[in-house]
Chain A
């Protein structure tokens, strides 16, 4: 790596550091202003969804494996945590690692089932896998244990699992501040998940994943092991997704098959798409934007899904790079040579037309056009 590229990378790391620090500071301070339980619980949910989307983004955006089964991985984490609490009587804190482990295994299996497929094929297969899980859960009617005369299914069936306990914030902090515990726990989850994803994106693994995404044949010719990388990205993204599932199960005190519904899938997918897939801050930005929209649309309950779908369509048509792309365009509006950007732009892809335009500047009556600005 040349020294200027190193410098650019360092500058970018510092920029990410300041963005992150600003975000965390605001997030830590919000409860002190006592905005009310509803707002706090919505923000808690936002942290959890943002943590899930950052991990999904590793698979979908950074590695370019179009998996739509990420909510299934999340659900496995949540269900495993809830089941450990319900059937084994474990404390949920102890059940969290089990949930993460189960999610990693589920994610690995999904990754392995799609190893030999590419591009859009993966999207269909993963969607089918998620749909199968959903239908298996909602048609689950066999009794697993009896609670009194009440029959409980292994997965809880269409009603979902309940009464497996929570993280015990009520005893620790009292009834009024229980929500603070949930809030800060989810924030910690998001921070750790985000750090994890940043480490991967900046590290050699991220470079490997991007290389496979941008040009699989070139990457394989240079010695990148595709099978190993794909399994690795699925396993890695499973860790915090499973933890997020467990935290969700503990915070909501219920987990049900609606975690696998298309509506929720669409909601989280739109977070990633609206934010900007494959970018570092896109998932969090998108999750924030979508939670805001969702909270607004909740008053119009009936058309909530329609509103979300319209937003996705508009963003797909007008802002294919998402909000991060928009912010990027605004900040880089001052015409600059692409070659300066290329060094720092980890997300930039090689654009042959752009390259040709820069190599062969078009002569115009007003001088030589150096860029498209």
Chain B
């Protein structure tokens, strides 16, 4: 029973992190048809900004999350205007942008490696201790992670469903050409979507590194897992992606507890491959028809 609760707690916190990652990635896939492999770079940027904010600047923890948010948004904005917009009109954008974002991720990782060094650091923006429920300890960091993740998810959902930007994003994801003909400024919408995704990723980076440790390649695994979760849920489907993030997070933690740490990700990937063989468009995805 205790083990079950422990798995549930760890799984929920992992799932919350995946959910935040998948929502940032789905947002970009939905609007621009872009798989953002540089997501891990944003995560690392957020983590290091938080670290520098508290150690080098010696600032209070209050400034950490706003700073990470701003840094992530700025990175997203720069990435759009320096790289993405120049490749957007191409026929092979889908794969070109994967190559380019892998390069950006490596660039960020190498930059952080040179600035901060390869050694793993402890994230100062983290809570120690935990709440005891019977024999199970519920760490405060987990509570913080889940709460902030849920806030982020609510904010994104509010933006997508209730604001003008959200309407634009949804319009573009449904019919890009038509929305442009209706006078939608797609470029500005793309830049805003990238800023949003960058900000979310950076904030989640602070939380991820708070639970584990801080090193330059910290976001890479999370990115791949979040992308895989997006695929299995059916890309562009936000609710499905969040649901699958929690399910697979729990699954991964359960496998890790039962069979050992190293089999978590392989088991998850194997499950995903089997599901995709049965349902190639993902669990909640609709089959799209390409016209010749």
Interface residues of A (CB under 8 A from B): 66, 113, 115-117, 119-121, 123-125, 127-129, 131-132, 135-136, 139-140, 215-218, 262-263, 265-266, 269-270, 273, 302-306, 308-310, 312-313, 316-317, 320
CB-defined contacts of B106 to chain A, threshold 8 Å: 262-263, 266, 305-306, 308-309
Query: Which among B128-136, B144-152, B189-197, B223-231 touches the partner chain?
Result: B223-231
In the bound complex, do residue B292 and residue A316 qualify as a contact, i.e. CB atoms below 8 Å apart? Answer: no
18 new A-B contacts, CB < 8 A, other than A113-B273, A127-B224, A306-B107, are: A116-B280, A119-B95, A120-B98, A124-B224, A124-B228, A127-B37, A128-B225, A132-B266, A132-B269, A139-B261, A262-B105, A269-B99, A270-B103, A306-B106, A306-B110, A309-B103, A309-B106, A316-B96
CB-defined contacts of B277 to chain A, threshold 8 Å: 113, 115-116
In the bound complex, do residue A266 and residue B103 qualify as a contact, i.e. CB atoms below 8 Å apart? Answer: yes
Which size bracket describes the interface of B in this complex?
Answer: 35 or more
In the bound complex, do residue B292 and residue A217 qualify as a contact, i.e. CB atoms below 8 Å apart? Answer: yes
A113 to B278, CA, bound (A): 11
Q: Which are the 8 A-B pairs with shortest beta-carbon distances?
A: A116-B280, A139-B262, A309-B107, A309-B103, A312-B103, A305-B110, A306-B110, A309-B106
CB-defined contacts of B104 to chain A, threshold 8 Å: 309, 313
Query: Which among B7-15, B50-58, B82-90, B171-179 touches the partner chain?
Result: B82-90
CB-defined contacts of A303 to chain B, threshold 8 Å: 110, 114
In the bound complex, do residue A123 and residue B35 qualify as a contact, i.e. CB atoms below 8 Å apart? Answer: yes
A128 to B105, CA, bound (A): 16
A61 to B20, CA, bound (A): 34
**Could you list some 26 contacts between A and B, CB below 8 A?**
A116-B280, A119-B95, A120-B95, A124-B35, A124-B98, A124-B231, A125-B276, A128-B224, A128-B227, A131-B221, A135-B265, A216-B290, A217-B292, A218-B292, A265-B102, A266-B102, A266-B106, A273-B99, A305-B110, A306-B110, A312-B100, A316-B87, A316-B96, A316-B99, A317-B86, A320-B92
Interface of A is mostly: helix
Give chain A nearest CB distance to B39 CB in angstroms. Answer: 12
CB-defined contacts of B231 to chain A, threshold 8 Å: 117, 121, 124-125
A91 to B208, CA, bound (A): 48
CB-defined contacts of A309 to chain B, threshold 8 Å: 103-104, 106-107, 110
CB-defined contacts of B292 to chain A, threshold 8 Å: 215, 217-218
In the bound complex, do residue A313 and residue B100 qualify as a contact, i.e. CB atoms below 8 Å apart? Answer: yes
In the bound complex, do residue B266 and residue A136 qualify as a contact, i.e. CB atoms below 8 Å apart? Answer: yes
Does B109 reach chain A (CB closer than 8 Å)?
Answer: yes
Contact of B111 among A129, A266, A306 (CB under 8 A): A306
CB-defined contacts of B225 to chain A, threshold 8 Å: 128
In the bound complex, do residue A313 and residue B224 qualify as a contact, i.e. CB atoms below 8 Å apart? Answer: no
A124 to B226, CA, bound (A): 10
Does B251 reach chain A (CB closer than 8 Å)?
Answer: no
Interface centre among A121, A129, A140, A269 (most CB of B within 10 A): A121
In the bound complex, do residue B261 and residue A128 qualify as a contact, i.e. CB atoms below 8 Å apart? Answer: no
In the bound complex, do residue B107 and residue A313 qualify as a contact, i.e. CB atoms below 8 Å apart? Answer: yes
CB-defined contacts of A310 to chain B, threshold 8 Å: 103, 107
CB-defined contacts of A304 to chain B, threshold 8 Å: 110
In the bound complex, do residue A124 and residue B227 qualify as a contact, i.e. CB atoms below 8 Å apart? Answer: yes
A115 to B221, CA, bound (A): 24
Does B220 reach chain A (CB closer than 8 Å)?
Answer: yes
Give chain B nearest CB distance to A258 CB in angstroms. Answer: 14
A127 to B226, CA, bound (A): 13
Interface centre among A66, A123, A136 (most CB of B within 10 A): A123
Does B240 reach chain A (CB closer than 8 Å)?
Answer: no
* A141 and chain B: residue at smallest CB distance: B262
A117 to B90, CA, bound (A): 21
Does B166 reach chain A (CB closer than 8 Å)?
Answer: no
CB-defined contacts of A131 to chain B, threshold 8 Å: 220-221, 224, 265
* A66 and chain B: residue at smallest CB distance: B95
Does B124 reach chain A (CB closer than 8 Å)?
Answer: no
In the bound complex, do residue B92 and residue A317 qualify as a contact, i.e. CB atoms below 8 Å apart? Answer: no
A265 to B227, CA, bound (A): 18
CB-defined contacts of B35 to chain A, threshold 8 Å: 120, 123-124
A264 to B276, CA, bound (A): 28
Instruction: Knowing A66-B95, A127-B224, say if A217 contacts B290 (CB, 8 Å).
Output: yes
In the bound complex, do residue B90 and residue A317 qualify as a contact, i.e. CB atoms below 8 Å apart? Answer: no
Give chain A nearest CB distance to B27 CB in angstroms. Answer: 16
Does B94 reach chain A (CB closer than 8 Å)?
Answer: yes
CB-defined contacts of B221 to chain A, threshold 8 Å: 131, 135
Give chain B nearest CB distance to A173 CB in angstroms. Answer: 39
* B220 and chain A: residue at smallest CB distance: A262
A127 to B273, CA, bound (A): 13
Interface centre among A116, A265, A309 (most CB of B within 10 A): A309
